[in-house]
């Protein structure tokens, strides 16, 4: 598969997965966490589909499209370990979290996701949903929407 095809599959899986997850948490109160602001695409989508939720977003750098700059109070700028610990100490418990860290080197991305998983677990509400581009550990994997191949995007319940 070309990298172009792979990227198209990833983007549509993100959109379908986030849309599906937004419906799944309709009865679960709580904020939303987007791990990896990047260009701001998934953050912008979450804002659109969950307009009544507070959306916190994390990245080590602010380099998104100007239309997607988050409010200062919602942007966690820094390394994931430190930011997740800060959220846990604040008592944050998310109903939905999207994991989109990574740099496209599979072995490194998988290792980072495994390393961060225990810290992510500390900030999830019981029954909260995780939507992830990388395998996470220590959560119950659940089937996502049928339009997404099982290995393309992953879904977990905390």
Binding site for ligand SAM (CB under 6 A): 36, 38-42, 59-61, 79-80, 100-102
Residue nearest to ligand SAM (CB): 38
Nearer to ligand SAM, 94 or 101 (CB): 101
Nearer to ligand SAM, 40 or 70 (CB): 40
End-to-end Cα spacing for the chain: 33
The CB-of-102 to ligand SAM minimum distance in angstroms stands at 6
The CB-of-5 to ligand SAM minimum distance in angstroms stands at 17
The CB-of-52 to ligand SAM minimum distance in angstroms stands at 21
Nearer to ligand SAM, 39 or 127 (CB): 39
The CB-of-115 to ligand SAM minimum distance in angstroms stands at 9
């Amino acid at each position: 598969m070309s990298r172009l095809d792979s990227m198209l599959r990833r983007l549509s899986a993100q959109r379908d997965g986030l849309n599906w997850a937004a419906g799944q948490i309709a009865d679960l109160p709580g904020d939303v966490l987007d791990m990896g602001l990047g260009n701001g695409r998934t953050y912008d989508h979450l804002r659109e589909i969950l307009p009544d939720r507070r959306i916190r977003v994390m990245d080590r750098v602010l380099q998104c499209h100007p239309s997607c700059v988050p409010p200062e109070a919602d942007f966690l700028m820094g390394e994931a370990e430190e930011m997740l610990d800060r959220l846990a100490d604040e008592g944050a418990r998310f109903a939905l979290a999207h994991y989109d860290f990574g740099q496209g080197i599979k072995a490194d991305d998988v290792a980072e996701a495994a390393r961060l998983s225990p810290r992510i677990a500390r900030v999830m509400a019981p029954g909260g949903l995780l939507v992830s581009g990388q395998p996470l550990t220590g959560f119950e994997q659940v089937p996502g929407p049928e339009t997404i191949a099982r290995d393309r995007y992953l879904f977990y319940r905390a």
